[in-house]
């Protein structure tokens, strides 16, 4: 006898699976609005992401991993802004009430939320094709926010972690690439349970001149920074930190596609003056997270240039676009 | 030659249809997060609503009306909290890029946003079954927010506007009820272009003890106020302001269903001490909006009682629930 099978109403569903005590809210779930107090001298950083079954995740995706991922991609936007996570709302369209699914999904979501003391303060549930929309809000002193427009000529270009793992896992899941079991175990977490670089984003306040999280692929996301900062960049492909499995595969075209244009890595790409190099290396040690200098910011007229180890210019692959 | 047919990428789509100058944002659309400054002494009021094709609106719904409605239902939540509208984010899943649809949808959305000086500060677009998720944020001095929990025994119970029009329009559209052309013209705006009672919500600061907006039906939404305030209520059915078309129909069962349990009216239901009666009547005149006293708050043990003109107790119909 499973008590949860008696859950039928929308309000029971919200109460059972999505209402937890809040830490930072004046008023949480259960009224027309949540009420939130932003600390003096801080501004609110807000972002929203919608994940759709069959588009952002497979049908029958593991619900606990899905709960993690849909919050992780939003936390990653706060990280890229240098903001402290505070609050989120969740809108959820469900084909049916599946209590086992809801239990796992909410467990994955709250496990990650709790690590960052993030409060779920509101939401909406409805029947429909599975869709998950999270809006997240954090706080940051306005002058310390990490914007896309701040990169300057001569800044070094850095990236956290390693690249291409999520894209490789996706290609494997789609049957386009064969990976052995060990390799799959190594890359699957990149795709299904990415780690938002929140602590790094906070540590980069006052150090990075610009930042963005890598959701659509290195070249495409870097392109946003370059456009908004009015600069160009040169990347040394050989310096790019790639997922270790690529060293085993020795498949150059696949590797370039995944590393330069693969989405879903959720690493931070950031720029900083060259004098910050020591400080950033110390951050890498403190956070036990590789931080790699991958290139330099140049003037706008050079655009984005990627060179291989021989100095040859590589073609920049297209990044993911939902409508292109 | 329509320039908009050349719009293909996700970023072009956002730039063309959903990027407008902001009035109140430190940073609007185009970075990892928007940055928003909340005024000192105010708290942020946040709400989210997701609308799904075939569930909340018909397939092939008029896109301009849809743009209006999906923002109106969110503005209504701010109204029910007594909050000043400030910012919104929009997540949009689209089956395909239909530029005519996007032009109309965004026109409807921005026409309403502009009336309230609301900034669209962020969003997400993706391909998928049509789904629209708006998260809205406003500002209110914490002590003046209109919460569901504040109703007290002896308070009068009030409602704005008239009830049941949206539910009647829906029944007609579904073929369950026949209305003539004139009657359809009278009720359709209730369903398709509801007017959020923002100015009333602001005016009720310091007057109303509790408030909620009527999205799921009078009895169901009132039930939330009663539960959270720990009180009961008695309603005089004869006093309920019903849409004028009901007077022509003379269909008691239909009228009771629509007026007591019909969703989508987006009127404000609020409680206030009896001494506020004159003030509230003056508000009605100032805002040119009927405000009707429909009953009284009683002690919790009486629950919710609806009586007809003969003093007979009416059965309280069930309100809408997406999963029940």
pLDDT (tens digit per residue) in B225-267: 999 999 999 999 999 999 999 999 999 999 999 999 999 999 9
Between CA B209 and CA B216, with CA B212 as vertex, the angle to 5 degrees is 155
Residue B266 sits in a domain whose CATH number is 3.90.650.10
Contact between residue B195 and residue B302 where contact means Cβ atoms under 8 Å apart: no
Q: What is the pTM of this model?
A: 0.92
Is A323 part of any domain? no
Domain boundary residue among A111, A144, A177?
A144
Residue B130 shares a structural domain with residue B211:
no
- Helix, coil or strand: residue B41: coil
Q: What is the pLDDT at residue A8?
A: 62
Q: How far apart are alpha carbons B112 and B110 in whole angstroms?
A: 5
**Yes or no, beta carbons of B78 and A33 under 8 Å apart:** yes
**Yes or no, beta carbons of B122 and A90 under 8 Å apart:** no
- Helix, coil or strand: residue B263: coil
Assign B15 a pLDDT band (cuts: 50, 70, 90). confident
Is A149 part of any domain? no
Domain boundary residue among A85, A111, A144?
A144
Cβ-Cβ contacts under 8 Å, A324 against chain B: 8-10
Chain B: give the shortest CA distance to residue A79, in Å.
Answer: 9
A215 inside 8 A of chain B by CB: no
A230 inside 8 A of chain B by CB: no
Q: How far apart are alpha carbons B161 and B144 in whole angstroms?
A: 23
Q: What is the mean pLDDT of chain B?
A: 93
* Residue B190: its H or E element: helix B181-192
Looking at the partner chain, which of B26, B33, B78 has a beta carbon nearest the beta carbon of A47? B33
Contact between residue B199 and residue B192 where contact means Cβ atoms under 8 Å apart: no
In A14-99, DSSP assigns E strands to 25-27, 34-36, 42-52, 84-94
- Helix, coil or strand: residue B217: coil
Residue of B48, B74, B88 to mutate when probing chain A, most A C-beta within 10 A: B48
| Domain interval for residue A38 | 10-144
Cβ-Cβ contacts under 8 Å, B122 against chain A: 46-48
User: Which residues lie below 8 Å from residue B299, measured CB to CB, with a gap of 6+?
Assistant: B153, B231, B232
Looking at the partner chain, which of A55, A97, A133 has a beta carbon nearest the beta carbon of B127? A55
Q: What is the pLDDT at residue B240?
A: 97
pLDDT digits (tens, 9 = 90+) for A150-197: 999 999 999 999 999 999 999 999 999 999 999 999 999 999 999 999
Q: What is the DSSP string of A100-164?
A: HHHHHHHHHHHHHHHHTT-EEEEEEEEESS-EEEEEEEEEEEGGG---GGG--TT-EEEEES-BS
Residue A77 shares a structural domain with residue A163:
no
Looking at the partner chain, which of B37, B47, B91 has a beta carbon nearest the beta carbon of A32? B47
Find the DSSP H helices in chain A.
10-18, 63-81, 99-115, 165-173, 181-192, 198-203, 218-229, 245-249, 252-261, 277-287
Q: How many CB pairs under 8 A join A and B?
A: 239
Residue B161 shares a structural domain with residue B81:
no
Residue B2 has pLDDT above 50, yes or no: no
HSE-CB for B69 with a 13 A CA cutoff: 25
A198 inside 8 A of chain B by CB: no
Q: How far apart are alpha carbons A175 and A88 in whole angstroms?
A: 35
Residue A170 shares a structural domain with residue A309:
yes
Residue A213 shares a structural domain with residue A102:
no
pLDDT digits (tens, 9 = 90+) for B148-205: 999 999 999 999 999 999 999 999 999 999 999 999 999 999 999 999 999 999 999 9
Structure-token pair, residue B126: 């993706």
Is B4 part of any domain? no
Looking at the partner chain, which of B131, B211, B228 has a beta carbon nearest the beta carbon of A93? B131
Q: How far apart are alpha carbons A323 and B178 in whole angstroms?
A: 42
Structure-token pair, residue B320: 């809408």
């Amino acid at each position: 006898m499973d008590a949860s099978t008696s859950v039928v109403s929308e309000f029971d569903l919200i109460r059972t699976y999505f209402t937890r005590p809040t830490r930072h809210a004046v008023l949480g779930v259960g009224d027309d609005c949540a009420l939130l107090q932003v600390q003096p001298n801080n501004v609110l950083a807000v972002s929203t992401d919608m994940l759709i079954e069959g588009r952002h995740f497979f049908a029958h995706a593991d619900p606990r991993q899905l709960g993690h991922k849909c919050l992780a991609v939003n936390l990653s936007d706060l990280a890229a802004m240098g903001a402290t996570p505070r609050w989120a709302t969740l809108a959820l369209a469900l084909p049916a009430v599946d209590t086992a699914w809801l239990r796992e999904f909410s467990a994955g979501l709250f496990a990650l939320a709790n690590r960052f003391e993030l409060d779920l303060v509101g939401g909406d549930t409805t029947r429909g094709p599975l869709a998950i929309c999270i809006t997240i809000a954090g706080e940051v002193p306005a002058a310390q926010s990490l914007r896309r427009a701040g990169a300057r000529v001569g800044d070094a270009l850095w990236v956290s972690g390693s690249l291409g793992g999520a894209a490789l896992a996706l290609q494997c899941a789609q049957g386009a690439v064969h990976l052995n079991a060990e390799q799959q175990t190594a890359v699957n977490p990149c795709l299904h349970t990415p780690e938002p670089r929140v602590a790094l984003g906070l540590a980069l306040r006052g150090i990075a001149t610009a930042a963005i999280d890598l959701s659509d692929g290195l070249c495409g996301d870097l392109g946003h920074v370059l456009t908004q900062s009015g600069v160009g960049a040169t990347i040394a492909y050989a310096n790019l930190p790639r997922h270790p499995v690529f060293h085993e595969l020795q498949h150059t075209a696949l590797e370039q596609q995944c590393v330069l244009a693969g989405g879903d890595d959720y690493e931070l790409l950031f720029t900083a003056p060259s004098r910050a190099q020591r400080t950033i290396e110390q951050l890498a040690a403190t956070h036990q997270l590789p931080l790699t200098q991958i290139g330099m910011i140049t003037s706008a007229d050079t655009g984005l240039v990627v060179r291989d180890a021989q100095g040859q210019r590589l073609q920049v692959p297209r990044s993911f676009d939902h409508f292109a």
